[in-house]
A and B are shown apart, each in its own frame.
Chain A
Amino acid sequence: MSLLTNVMDHSLDEGYAEAAAARGGEHDSRIPRTLRGLLTLGAGLALVGAVVTVGAVNAHKAEPTLAKERDALIHRINDSNGTADHLQKEVQDLRRKVEDTQQQALPSGDAGAAGLTDQVGLGEVTGPGVKLVLEDAAGTGSGGNVDPRAGQGFSNSGRLRDRDLQLVVNGLWGSGAEAVSINGQRLTALSAIRAAGEAVLVDNRPLVPPYNIQAIGDGPKLLSAFENDMAGQYLRLLEEKYGIKSTLSAQKSLTLPAAVGVTLRTAQPVTPEPSPTPTPTPSGGSSTGPGGTPSGGSGTAESPGASVSPSVTRSVPTAKRRPTSGSAKTTTGTGAARP
């Protein structure tokens, strides 16, 4: 405290008082009268003016530099985004090629595996269906500009959570949807919808609101079934209570992309082997695929609609139970194809 008082009391340089006392009179001079004194004062004030101006000019000069740096950074981000998009496209192309090659390598007579690709999410599907757009309530700082570090978490109840999406997607499956995608990401039986921090992730890829959910099915029938379903009522409740907007509409034709990160895991040679030794499932291909952990804890979109239940497929050493008639089986998960 005394330090502050000291600063307050002695705001004027004590040199002034001392100099005045040395000169004798307390009020002898207001401004210097001699030419030399005036010149010194002028020089001093010139220095002051110069320092202050240079400071101001310098601060102004720094501004465009900062803006330039920012622009350069933005440019770099855009460039990298472009490169990433390009690579993503390349990945898709290559994946398609792999798929085609796989299809060719598989025994042609096996229509089962080929027929399953649509249902398990491996193939692009087109057909009638419903489109559901979910949007966070207004004023929740959404719209792609959510700062994941803002720290609000999902405490803001106007935001959609992972379990809302889980419920909606499960409702769609339950209402007879044959294929579902969220924001252009196809859901498979192993897809996980979960939350990490502020973001909702589907298969470990973050989603940006608004959430555009598309489901293939018998359009109007699926629509009414969903509306009468628990999930439809839940959505109405969300809209009523929290202002979360949902728009549901039947569509004549929807195209859902193939799911990514799904691999053919087991296949068997065309020629029947003499001994029915099981084709060993590659060890890596158990439960942790890029498709996410299928364990229920953090929420898995399970598909009652899909006829292949991956949990069954995985637990069974396939060859034992099935006749080795050169069949191939498509499942989701990681692993290798064995021709």
Chain B
Amino acid sequence: MIAVLGLVIGVVVGLFVQPEVPDAVVPYLPIAVVAALDAVFGGVRAMLDGIFNDKVFIVSFLSNVVVAALIVFLGDQLGVGSQLSTGVVVVLGIRIFSNAAAIRRHVFRA
């Protein structure tokens, strides 16, 4: 209940407060979103596996977002930003897909 409430609050805050994202951070936002989605899917799968841990979830989410943004930032400084962000998206995408598959197996037993 509290979890769903938290999610709703997050969405509402994002929609209505519309925080000004600093221009320096804007390029890393999409990557951060993908990393956040990866953490969410991982958490849901862990929950269905029965090994969910809130601390692990929070830490993995934060570190995912920060590391993904950092990698892309580093790539930008080295002139390979787009390639590195492609790499990050590929890796995270694979993880999201296999986690989604595991969730599907749990839910539909297929």
Q: Please report A residues at the B interface, Cβ cutoff 8 Å.
A: 4, 7-8, 11-13, 15-17, 19-20, 26-32, 37-59
Contact = CB atoms under 8 A, between A and B. Distances in A.
A51 B32 contact: yes
B58 A50 contact: no
Contacts of A13: 39, 42, 46, 56, 60
Nearest to A55: B33
Binding site of B, secondary structure by majority: helix, strand, loop or mixed? helix
Interface residues of B, number: 51
Given A27-B50, A55-B33, A15 B59 contact: yes
Contacts of A30: 47-48, 50, 52
A12 B39 CA distance: 9
Interface in B13-32: 13-15, 18-19, 21, 26, 29-30, 32
B2 A39 contact: yes
Contact of B57 (A28, A41, A49, A56): A41
Given A15-B59, A47-B62, A55-B29, 9 more contacts: A8-B98, A13-B46, A13-B60, A15-B56, A16-B52, A20-B53, A29-B51, A44-B58, A46-B9
B55 A40 contact: yes
A16 B9 contact: no
Contacts of B8: 49
B7 interface: yes
Binding site of A, secondary structure by majority: helix, strand, loop or mixed? helix
- Cβ-closest 5 pairs across A and B: A49-B10, A53-B14, A42-B6, A46-B10, A20-B51
Interface of B: 2-11, 13-15, 18-19, 21, 26, 29-30, 32-33, 36-37, 39-40, 42, 45-62, 65, 91, 94-95, 98-99, 102
- Scoring B45, B48, B52 by chain A CB atoms within 10 A of each residue's CB, the highest score goes to B52
B110 to A, nearest CB: 19
B60 A48 contact: no
- Scoring A4, A8, A27, A32 by chain B CB atoms within 10 A of each residue's CB, the highest score goes to A32
A19 to B, nearest CB: 4
Contacts of A17: 51
